[in-house]
Amino acid sequence: MKIYLDGNFVDAADAKISVFDHGLLYGDGIFEGIRLYKGNVFRLDEHLERLEYSAKALMLKLPLSRKELAEATCETCRRNNLTDGYIRLVVTRGVGDLGLSPWLCATPSLFIIADKIALYPKEYYEKGLEIVTVATRRMSPAALPPAVKSLNYLNNILAKIEARQAGALEAIMLNDQGYVAECTGDNIFIVHKGRILTPSSQAGALRGITRDSIFDIAREVGVPIEEHDLTRYDVWNADEAFLTGTGAEVIPVVKLDGREVGAGRPGPIFEKILAAFRRRVLTEGTRI
Ligand code: PMP
């Protein structure tokens, strides 16, 4: 496997980052997870825009322009003969000293990995996930804007550990006001009386690229969709629920906190959305 690392393509075994890199020492950096479907990089421009926004928020200077980042991403796929898979694009603050100061990190590092991913076992895409609400709250926007896709995922990892301890593969995280924010690595949607609802980024949701595509798909298939504050009660009493993410794609949820969601199986609106999503991923992309 060839990894793009700061302008070069190197073997995976040689793709190394300094122990003084603040991405490692402090989680000071940003990333994108991007899908590749039959030679199409799904919504690459949107991913790179989000990366730029994350960089702006952290005052991190991206080492390449959007065009150059797109080219490096596509070239990494080509070098690995990959036509279907998952791309991880990471920008770290770079090498500094043992203090926090980002100003002492002269050059950010950029690496791109193009590989495969299977987030959930296949059976859950058919029968649906049973998830739980965990005690770990989503980081408050006052502490770290949840829209920043940073290398610091400890908040989500603590939630993921709680999910696992409760025997679930994914968990709902609430915001500090007790409203549903999102899951540890996915956005959440519910369907209630024919409308699709999802928490806003103000409520703590990452502005997911897959989430964005669901808004377009809902409009295409004629189902009303809106951002809405949601409580656990709303999810328990939803007719349907599903999660979205680049890794997860679109996956149904059939139980939350021991309560069956709707009929306890993937619902008709989910099926409609999924079918349209499957069509879109083949057409909405940048050819590598
Ligand atoms: N929320 C979190 C916390 C995530 O890490 C992700 C990405 N895995 C998502 C939502 C989904 O975002 P996207 O559709 O852009 O992958």
Nearest ligand 1 atom to the CA of 184 is 3
- Read off the pLDDT of each residue in 81-88 and give the average, rounded to a whole number: 97
Query: In whole numbers, what is the pLDDT of the chain averaged over residues?
Result: 97
- Residues 44 and 285: beta-carbon distance below 8 Å: yes
Residue 141's pLDDT is: 87
Residue with CA nearest ligand 1 atom 2: 185
Radius of gyration over every alpha carbon of the chain, rounded to an integer in angstroms: 19
Side-chain-side CA neighbours of 131 within 13 Å: the count stands at 29
**Statement: the pTM of the whole predicted model exceeds 0.85:** yes
pLDDT of 65 above 90: yes
Side-chain-side CA neighbours of 78 within 13 Å: the count stands at 9
pLDDT band at residue 200 using 50, 70 and 90 as cut-offs: very high
Residue 285's pLDDT is: 87
Q: Which fold has domain 122-283?
A: D-amino Acid Aminotransferase; Chain A, domain 2 (3.20.10)
Cα 208–249–3 angle (5° rounding)? 85
Beta bridge partners of 189: 242
User: Phi, psi at residue 192, to the nearest 5°?
Assistant: -135, 120
pLDDT of 109 above 90: yes
| 188: Cβ contacts below 8 Å, ≥ 6 apart | 172, 180, 182, 198, 199, 205, 230, 235, 241, 242, 243, 253
- Read off the pLDDT of each residue in 34-57 and give the average, rounded to a whole number: 97
Residue 119's pLDDT is: 86
Q: Which of 2, 67, 149, 160 is catalytic?
A: 149
- For 241-286, what is each residue's pLDDT tens digit? 999 999 999 999 999 999 999 999 999 999 999 999 999 999 888 9
| 270: Cβ contacts below 8 Å, ≥ 6 apart | 191, 240, 242, 250, 252
Mutate to test the pocket of ligand 1, among 187, 207, 250 (most ligand atoms within 8 A of CB): 187
Could you tell me the residue ranges of all domains in the chain?
2-115, 122-283
What does CATH list as the number for 2-115?
Answer: 3.30.470.10
pLDDT band at residue 176 using 50, 70 and 90 as cut-offs: very high
Residue 149: active-site member:
yes
